[in-house]
Amino acid sequence: MINQKEITELTGCEVDVFPQTLYNVSHDASIFEVKPEAFVHPKDIASLCKLVQYVSTHSDESGHGDIGFGRNGGMNITARSAGTDMGGGPLGQSIIVDFTKYFNHIKEVGDGYAVVEPGVYYRDFDKETLAHGGQILPSYPASRELCTVGGMTANNSGGEKTLTYGKTEKYIRRLKMVLADGKEYEFKPLTLMELEQQKGMPNLQSDIYHKMYELITTNRDILEKARPEVSKNSCGYYLWNVMYDRPILNGEKSVNTEKVFDLTKMIVGSQGTLGLVTEVEFGLVKPNPHSRLLVVFLKDMKSLGRVASEIMKFKPESFESYDDHTFRVAVKFLPSLIKQLKGNVFRLAIGFLPELWAVIRGGVPKMVLMAEFTATTAGGALYEAMQAEKALAELSEAGVFSHKIRTEVTRSASATDKYWVIRRESFNMLRKHSGKLRTAPFIDDFVVKPEHLSEFLPQLYDILDQYRLTYTIAGHVGDGNFHIIPLMDLREPKAHKIIEDLSVRVYKLVHKFGGSITGEHNDGIIRTPFVKMQYGEEVYALFEQTKKIWDPKGIFNPGKKVGGTLEYAFEHIVNS
């Protein structure tokens, strides 16, 4: 049992054990409920370090073989910020550590970079970076109005701009974190000479550098062979990314390369299982200021792969989608969408008349595709979108597609924003308005190469249709990353069996096409049981060794990345 008074006195943290608080933090955006013993707010680095030391002292080393879950009486720590994760990543049975109350400062914003604490909400961070010359961190997810930068780092988040700009891993310059010895360390890219100097230090960080270098170099070929053949991946520990060749620049020209050892490349996406991140320096970019959308309305899914391939030739900055169910929900709940657009209510309502008319006529598209083209001028963005539209029209007239393709190019920012709000809010709308059924994100984030979509999708639909489920489809078409979310009654006895069977069948299909079971949302409770299936026994064993190197007692977020089981997952599925 957690001793609230003792933790408060010894660590200086605020400790909340109020039942309603514990109920609130026992949920995220997933299908799980895991009740913790305490919700703890460290006030500063010193109190956080003392908390980790306290937990380490009160942990049960034998719990590591079981990957903890609090089953052997040992304490453990799970980091939490906004709780927007869809896989159960920030849920734990012992101590939940909050970063939003005190670790919420933007420390510095400069030309091309920003230094920030993990509890800062992305929406606030975005306002601050935009005010400094129109800079952004472009790896934000659809939950950009709700999530924190710490959660983005923990999950290696990606979203609508990942197609052009890449995921969060690309933007981490350095970070600080508290390790299992209760001390804060800084991690950044090191040359091999700098690495050798670090390996000689008498501390846990030095031990980690030494052991991780040996593990990665010894198993280099195995790791490279296991790397998924996709543009985005959030499954397992990214051991293959740690050592790479960095250009040596003379001005803007690369004159040579140097070997770099960079553990931030595996800390990102590790879901707080290796330590607690306390500060991140992100790189920032300045995107083109003007954009226009080419919106494509598909009557069926047969032409999706061919349409997507054609649009990709024109290099859109973003390429998103949502399906007919999402479309209908958006029309049904127009007032809440219009409120989010923030403008003249009457004018905004008129903007949705085509969608209303489509529902009335029964002409709701099976899938809506949104290809965003950007430029330094509005005219330039419009030209790029119209060129892609013209190419689709020519193919459509030639009978290449299964039906005549209907398209629209947005001419104004308000018309563009309308579609983005529907796409970004699709999951939240479904969560709030799915009636007696519940959104069940468990096959919601797989990714395959876009060129495989024409072959992959029909096989996927054949599997899904056998279960007679209502499901929604949204995602990042340009990356081949789809979020398929069934609507289910999780109280039904057959629900657990469907989740297990469907996950295995879908993930086998993904593996067949060289993809990943998660492109953005990470492993959490829901996908950790399938990590071994993704990579095989040999690589999974390397992940287990990695966890032990960083976290010998298994105190950090147990059961995520390694050690999770379907049995545990099913025990903690919500009952309503």
Residues 6 or more apart whose Cβ sits within 8 Å of residue 452: 480, 513, 515
Query: Residue 504: its pLDDT value, please?
Result: 92
Q: Please give the DSSP secondary-structure letter assigned to residue 123.
A: H
Strands 95-98 and 77-80: parallel
Say which CATH topology domain 4-102 has. 3.30.43
* Sign of the alpha-carbon torsion through 463, 465, 471, 475: positive
Query: Residue 151: its pLDDT value, please?
Result: 97
Structure tokens, 323: 């399906």
Nearest C-alpha neighbor of 477 from the set 371, 344, 340: 371
- How far is Cα 446 from Cα 466, in angstroms, rounded to an integer? 19
Residues 6 or more apart whose Cβ sits within 8 Å of residue 304: 298, 367, 369, 453, 454, 457, 477
Structure tokens, 385: 């979108």
Q: How far is CA 31 from CA 61, 231, 439, 557, in A?
A: 30, 27, 8, 18
Residues 6 or more apart whose Cβ sits within 8 Å of residue 197: none
* Sign of the alpha-carbon torsion through 523, 529, 532, 537: positive
- How far is Cα 539 from Cα 543, in angstroms, rounded to an integer? 6
Q: Amino acid letter at 21? A: T
- List helix spans (H) across 466-536: 494-512, 524-527, 531-535
Nearest C-alpha neighbor of 261 from the set 310, 205, 203: 205
| CATH class of the structural domain 106-283 | alpha beta
Query: Residue 62: its pLDDT value, please?
Result: 41
Under a CB-based contact definition with an 8 Å cutoff, are residues 264 and 172 in contact? yes
The residue length of the chain stands at 576
3-state secondary structure of 523: coil
Number of neighbouring beta carbons within 10 Å of residue 272:
28
Assess if CATH 3.40.50.300 describes domain 288-433.
Answer: no
The pTM of the full predicted model, rounded to 2 decimals, is 0.91
Half-sphere exposure of 216 (CA within 13 A, CB side): 22
Which residue ranges make up each domain of the chain? Answer: 4-102, 106-283, 288-433
- Per-position DSSP letters for 135-152, written without gaps between them: -B-TT--TTTTT-BHHHH
Strands 95-98 and 38-41: parallel
pLDDT digits (tens, 9 = 90+) for 134-180: 999 999 998 899 999 999 999 999 999 999 999 999 999 999 999 99
Q: Amino acid letter at 262? A: D
Query: Which class for 38: exposed (0-12), middle (13-18), buried (19 or more C-beta within 10 A)?
Result: buried
* Sign of the alpha-carbon torsion through 176, 179, 184, 185: negative
Query: Residue 81: its pLDDT value, please?
Result: 94
Query: Residue 65: its pLDDT value, please?
Result: 37
Query: Residue 71: its pLDDT value, please?
Result: 42
3-state secondary structure of 16: strand
- How far is Cα 544 from Cα 181, in angstroms, rounded to an integer? 19
Q: Residue 223: what are its φ and ψ, rounded to 5°?
A: -70, -45
- How far is Cα 57 from Cα 554, in angstroms, rounded to an integer? 12
Q: Residue-wise pLDDT tens for the chain (576 aa)?
A: 789 999 999 999 999 999 999 999 999 999 999 999 999 999 999 999 999 999 999 986 444 334 444 444 589 999 999 999 999 999 999 999 999 999 999 999 999 999 999 999 999 999 999 999 999 999 999 889 999 999 999 999 999 999 999 999 999 999 999 999 999 999 999 999 999 998 888 999 999 999 999 999 999 999 999 998 898 999 999 999 999 999 887 766 767 899 999 999 999 999 999 999 999 999 999 999 999 999 999 988 888 888 998 999 999 999 998 888 777 777 676 666 666 666 554 555 556 656 655 555 657 788 889 999 999 999 999 999 999 999 999 999 999 998 889 899 998 877 888 788 778 776 776 666 666 778 889 999 999 998 888 788 889 989 988 998 888 788 899 999 999 888 888 888 888 899 999 999 999 999 999 999 999 999 999 999 999 999 999 999 999 999 999 999 999 999 999 999 999 999 999 976
